[in-house]
Structures are given as structure tokens and as C-alpha cells.
Structure 1
Amino acid sequence: MDTNQDTSAAGGVDDDPAAWPDDRMVDYAGFSRLTGLRTGTLRHYGTKSKGRPAERRLIPEPDDHAREPDGSAIEARPRWKVSTVRAWMASRPGTGRAGVKRGPRRSTS
């Protein structure tokens, strides 16, 4: 199997994202399977990240874009290496808003 194909098709030998090689290219669907985030969330992150410097992006810069038969890039079809997605996940902060301390929970009774 070509490791540079999109991972949007389900099934097959490498159905388990943990087994995907680091150099494999993934689209939004593959990114979603690796991270557990919804594809809509990832697309939103991508839209909000345009024009931001690398340290302020909500999603990593794509490593490549899907190609037309003539070789030209399709900008609406970004692709990332599995290693890029894994590195991004490892560097993400925990849940909640950054810098906001949570106080004790209030009693509901």
C-alpha cells in the first residue's frame, strides 16, 4: 500500500491509527482518527489558524496538499504526516481555556 495516500477510506490492514507509519499522509478524516477530534472541529481550527504565526496556530501547518492530475495543489485538501499530528497532540495543553484557573465547584443543592 502506498503510504502517501489519504486515510479517508475505512477498513483495510492499517485500520488502527496507532499502527500507521510516521511518514503516512493523512487528510482531515485521518487527522480525526488519530486525535479523536471531530473533522468539523479540525476544519474550524484550520480556518481560524490562517495567517497566524506558527506559535499561535490552532492546528499545525499542512505538510502537503492533495494534488490535481496535472500536479497542482488543491488548497482545500490539506494533508499532514502522521508524525506531525502526533507531535501536535503531544504539545497540546490540557482541556479548558489556557491560563484560566478553576475555582472549587459550587454545590447544586
Structure 2
Amino acid sequence: MTVNIYDTANQLEQELRGTDEFMKLDAAFSAVKEDEEANHVFTEFREVQQNIQQKQMMGQEISEEEAAQAQEVSTKISENDIITALLEAEKQVGQMIDDINQVVLKPVRELYQ
């Protein structure tokens, strides 16, 4: 019997969209997009985060100015309830995906034990 693992993956993708965790994330992201200040701060946060990640991947040092900018944006994030709700929802979806990943990779882990 041949198993089409991609059909299973597509089914999982559809089921993920129907979870409470994903629907909360979707609602939280919509709330950020609808709030001008939250959207601006979140966009700034993502840009700073991407810049720092790129530098780290290239082995470049982060300047004091960039570190200060990251700290400033981090403070803005923590003071914005709409964004903190989004980050919490992201954390919950991330945990669910980590749990699923553990289940999916179980056969591979068992091979190496």
C-alpha cells in the first residue's frame, strides 16, 4: 500500500487553519493591521528584526546604534497590548507546530535510537 504523505500534509494544513490557536492568531494579526499605531510599530519591529538576523547570518556585528534601536522597538512592543496579544497568539501556534513536528519526526528519531 502506497501512502501519499503530501495528501496528509495538505489535510494537516487545512486542519491547522481550523484550530482555535490559528483563528486567534488570525484575529490578532487583523487587529494589528487595523490599528495604525500598532501596525507601524509592528512593521518597524519586523524590519529591525530582519536586519539583525541578516547581519548575524553573515557574521557581521550589530552596532550599538542597531542594538539601541532594537531595544527601543522592543519597549514599544511591550507597551502595546494589541501587539503583545499577537505575539502571544504566535507563541501558541508555534507551540502547536512544535508539538506536531515532534509527532511527525518520531519515526526518524526512533531510527537513530
* Larger Rg, first or second structure (1 or 2): 2
Is TM-score (shorter-chain normalized) higher than 0.5?
no
Instruction: Please give the TM-score of this superposition, normalised by the length of structure 2.
Output: 0.22
Structure (1/2) with the larger helix percentage: 2
Structure (1/2) with the larger strand percentage: 1
RCO higher in 1 or 2 (8 Å CA, sep ≥ 6)? 2
